[in-house]
Structure formats: C-alpha cells, structure tokens
Chain A
Amino acid sequence: MATLLHAILGYFVLLLTIRLLTRRPGSQLTLFEFVLIFLMGGIIIASTMGNDRSVTNATCAVVMVALLHRATSYTRNRWPSMGRLIDGVPLVIYETGKWREEVLREMRIAPEDVLAAARTKGYRGLDEIDYAILERNGQISVLSKQKT
C-alpha cells in the first residue's frame, strides 16, 4: 500500500517539477538534461521502493505508474483545459518580422535557437520565414512565407 501511495506521490511530484522546468528549445535531451532525468528518477525510485525490493513490490509500483500515465493521458485528451495544464500551449515566438519579446524572455529562448530551428528546415535566415512557434513538445516549428 505504502509503495502505491509513494508511486502516486512520486509521479505527480515529478510531473510538476518537469512541467515547472519549462520546455527546452529543440526538445532533444542534452547531457545536462540526462543528469536531471537519471537523478530525479533514481531519487523517486529509492523513495517508492523503500526497503521492500521484491519483484512483487516493483511490479505493483510499475503497474501503478503505468495506470497513472494512462489516466493522465486520458484526462488531457478528454478535457482540453487539463491538456493545457499538463502540456502547455503552443507559443508564437516570431511573427511576420517581429520577435515576441515576452515569450522569448519567459521561455528562456534565444533568437539563435529559432535560427537553428530554421536552418534544420533548410531556411537560411529570418527573411525566409513568417512564423516560429514553440510547440507543446518543446520543438520550434518554422513556417516559410509561402507556406502560410
């Protein structure tokens, strides 16, 4: 029972912490973020399992986390407002020649991140794009002038 409660608490603590860390531009895991994931995961595992390292306990904890994940997925799809809370919303960073300074500042994104995203799509610079959007998964989408 304690393991299941710890798993529930651990899941939501991790979910909140990761959500508070905000989206990283590019969404790819850097070494820096691997440290976070392994360390946080390890800490939660130790607390969830406690002194009971049996297969039964581990199986129950894994199933509980899977169930929570399923319930969270269902919740965010069923209620869009929950989806916004869990995943956030897309944010326009660059709009027809103008930077959205507020979004850049609050999301800790540098214009260079947007230019890097543009280059990965084959654009040479800002003069070829109309919009840059920070997606919910942390990727930056760029839309060329002719696309929109």
Chain B
Amino acid sequence: MHSSKSVAEPVRDEIRRIDDVISVGEDLDFQRRWWRFEKLAWLILVIVLAADALGAFGRGWLAGAERHSADGSLDVRYERVERAGTPSVMTVEFAPSAIEGRTMRLFSSLNIVNELGAQRIIPQPETSAIGPRDITYEFAGTGSPAVASIQLQPSFPGIHHIELQVPGKPAIRADILVLP
C-alpha cells in the first residue's frame, strides 16, 4: 500500500534517455529556424526604425508634402502621413490672386474637420459657412503672401481625400494617410 520511500525524501525526476542521449524536449532544427527568423526580425525592426527616423510614418522629412493649385492661387504644405491622435499643422498660403478686396476665402472639404480633426485655424476666420460636404472660411487680409495655419489632430486611421481651393479657382486635391 505505502511506498517504501519516505515522504520526506525529495522526488527525483528521471530524465528519459534515447540512444543514450538525454531527452528534454530539445528541438535544434526548430531553434535554428527561430534563430534565422530572429536575425531577419531584427533586420526588419532596424529598417522600420530607420524609416521612422526619416519620417515614413509621419512627423519627418519623408512625410512633408507641398501642393500648388494649377493657377498658383493657393499653396498647401501638409504631412502626407499623419498619426491618429497626434497634432500637426497644415499651412495654406494665399497668393495675391486669391485676395479679393481685403478678404480671402478658403473652401475646404468637410473631412478636414470631421476626419482630420481640424482643431484651430490661425488667424481665426471672420466667418465660416458649412455646406453639405464642405466648409468655407473667410479671412481678413491686408497683404500677400497671407498664410493660414490649420491645426489638425486626426481621429481615424485610413486614407483621407482632402480638397482645398479658393472659390472659383482650381482646387488642390490630396490624399492623407493616417496611421493608427
């Protein structure tokens, strides 16, 4: 009934031997494949870091973009790659041809507010009129070049198509990729 061994005696595990070699579940073929994968993974991670440093994932040299309207009335500097929840600035520069009297008007697709999270516009527009899929800002201007900065903070990852124009002039269209 009872084992001859005392309960106080420590348990000694037997390690199985196969062909007189200890069997502990080692799998050197798997481990060698893992080591190869590990080297490849580190190489990829270094490339990812280098790409990030260059701005491929936003906030850097590669992410910066600039577009001009066909008639040169508008110039937009923005980041073609943005990050969700991270603030950035889109700069809109009006050429003299965009100034009517002492005002400048900017027509913007509504997704700049809804999806790219336009938080503030500097200088503050005198008026803003909301349409079904657009918003038109009116700024007071005294001279050229006149620059407006739109502070963005995108909420949703994805590709967002934006459109900016001085009403009656050619539009600037651009795609902005927002990363999670």
Interface residue A91 (Cβ < 8 Å from any Cβ of B): yes
Tally of contacts, chain A with chain B, CB under 8 A: 44
B22 near A131 with CB under 8 A, answer: yes
Q: Mark B19-33, 1 if CB is under 8 A from A, else 0.
A: 000101111101100
* Given known A-B contacts A50-B85, A84-B27, A84-B30, A92 and B22 have beta carbons under 8 A apart: yes
Which residues of A in the span 28-68 have a Cβ within 8 Å of any Cβ on B?
50-51
Q: Mark A55-94, 1 if CB is under 8 A from B, else 0.
A: 0000000000000000000000000000010001111100
Interface residue B35 (Cβ < 8 Å from any Cβ of A): yes
* Given known A-B contacts A20-B38, A147-B12, A89 and B85 have beta carbons under 8 A apart: no
* Given known A-B contacts A131-B22, A133-B24, A148-B22, A89 and B38 have beta carbons under 8 A apart: no
* Set of chain B residues within 8 Å of A16, measured between Cβ atoms: 41
* Set of chain A residues within 8 Å of B180, measured between Cβ atoms: 5-6, 9
Interface residue A27 (Cβ < 8 Å from any Cβ of B): no
A89 near B22 with CB under 8 A, answer: no
- Which of A5, A6, A143 touches B22 (beta carbons < 8 Å)? A143
Interface residue B61 (Cβ < 8 Å from any Cβ of A): no
* Set of chain B residues within 8 Å of A50, measured between Cβ atoms: 85
* Set of chain B residues within 8 Å of A51, measured between Cβ atoms: 85
A83 to B180 CA separation, bound complex (whole angstroms)? 30
Shortest distance from the beta carbon of B18 to any chain A beta carbon, whole Å: 13
A148 near B24 with CB under 8 A, answer: no
* Set of chain B residues within 8 Å of A6, measured between Cβ atoms: 180
* Set of chain A residues within 8 Å of B27, measured between Cβ atoms: 84, 89
Interface residue A106 (Cβ < 8 Å from any Cβ of B): yes
Closest to B155 in A: A2
- Which of B17, B24, B35, B41 touches A92 (beta carbons < 8 Å)? B24
B15 near A89 with CB under 8 A, answer: no
A130 to B34 CA separation, bound complex (whole angstroms)? 26
**What are 25 A-B contacts with C-beta separation under 8 Å?**
A5-B180, A16-B41, A20-B38, A20-B42, A50-B85, A51-B85, A84-B27, A84-B30, A88-B31, A89-B26, A89-B27, A89-B30, A90-B25, A90-B26, A91-B26, A91-B28, A91-B31, A92-B24, A92-B26, A103-B31, A106-B31, A130-B22, A131-B22, A143-B15, A147-B15
